[in-house]
Amino acid sequence: MAEPNKWVPRNPELPGAEDGSVSKESALAACFAMALFYVAVLYAPTYVLRLAPASSLNTFMIRRFISVIFASLASILLCACLLPVRNYQGASLILSICGIRLDHLGRAVAIPLCLTSLFYVGSVVSRLLSFSDAWEQEELHQEAYLVRIFKAASQKLVDDAHFVVLNILAWRNYVVAPITEELVFRACMIPLLLCAGFKAYSIIFLSPIFFSLAQIIPFQLKIGSASGSGPPPAHLNHLLELYYGQKYTFSRAVLIVGMQLGYTVMFGWYASFLFLRTGHLIAPIVAHIFCNMMGLPIVFPNTQKAFVFSSFLIGCGTFFILLFPATSPDLYNSNTKHCRCWHEFCSWGRTL
């Protein structure tokens, strides 16, 4: 009898399912379908359910939250159906495959968060320099100034907490988008691609491509439609806003959006790397939330450009030095069985 934690093919005689693996064509088609559905479902309230236009931003965003949660659950179901896992192994094993685990949870949160923060050393230094300049220009007594700083920092903390709790866009940026995007584009896609026999480095570069394609295709459909409402996908919508709304030149608008899209793609590579190395979905989620909070790293500020840029380079250098040691699978798994990833993913396409 097979060990309970071993992968067993449902039907090895199916085409492309030799040794229990998923065919590459099936895995790619499933990943593309999940990516497309994740974005297309945002238009379901208008085009499918024929709901009346949202009366407020909150209503509009709540509809979208429900849509992407539904898309995420559908992606998990599709992943569970395609992976060669026996039915009796249950939902707990599927959740574990998707990186939804409680073991080593503290490390999976703290270490990737500290690692990600190294990219923002320049941003931190820039803010400290701004604080230093304000300190030098302050004419009041230092003790009084420190009290004012403490009160201002406390008030900002309260205001930020209030903003996050009550602002619907904060829920989108810091809760719904990071969790659902990482669940679909990392937790559901990566196991399928591994099971299909794709190498880890190929998967790291493939994952952001699915997201980019899914962003473009609904936009093309939207442009070709003469009816309906709702904004096009985020990056392309921003391009139109800069060009038509803020009257930027087309080349400058493309440059700005291109930099943002490039940053998004690079983060996709990094998030996929974190998921592959740690086996924890929480690792790319906390990195995603942190990056959304920090925005683009500050490289060339208005003042002290050389010092801030040097700090940025030092942070990036430290990041790359620690990248592999800080994401070693042994830190996040009790027993890797001398395998370079968790759940023996690297052997899925060969010995299941």
DSSP string, 44-63: HHHHTS-PPPPSSHHHHHHH
Percent of the chain with pLDDT over 90: 23
- The residue with greater pLDDT, 219 or 148, is 148
- Tell me which residues are annotated as active site: 181, 235
Both tokens of 127, joined, read 């803010």
Structure tokens at 39: 């974005």
More confident residue, 283 or 170: 283
| Highest-pLDDT range among 68-77, 307-316, 324-333 | 68-77
- pLDDT greater than 50 at residue 233: no
Confidence of residue 214 (pLDDT cuts 50, 70, 90): low
Decide if pLDDT at 352 tops 80: no
pTM of the model: 0.79
Q: Rounded CA gap, 203 and 209, in Å? A: 10
Q: How far apart are CA 330 and CA 278, in angstroms?
A: 8
Give tens-digit pLDDT for 48-75.
Answer: 788 888 888 888 889 989 999 999 999 9
Does the pLDDT of residue 116 top 80, yes or no?
A: yes
> Amino acid letter at 65?
F
- Please state, rounded to an integer, the average pLDDT across all residues of the chain: 75
pLDDT tens figures, 74-91: 999 998 888 876 555 567
Please give the C-alpha separations between residue 149 and each of 79, 136, 177, 243, in angstroms, as whole numbers.
Answer: 51, 14, 33, 40
Burial annotation 311-343 (CB, 10 A radius, 16+ → b, else e) = bbeebbeebeeeeeebbebeebbeebeeeebbb
Q: Which of 10-14, 58-62, 107-111, 321-325 has the lowest mean pLDDT?
A: 10-14
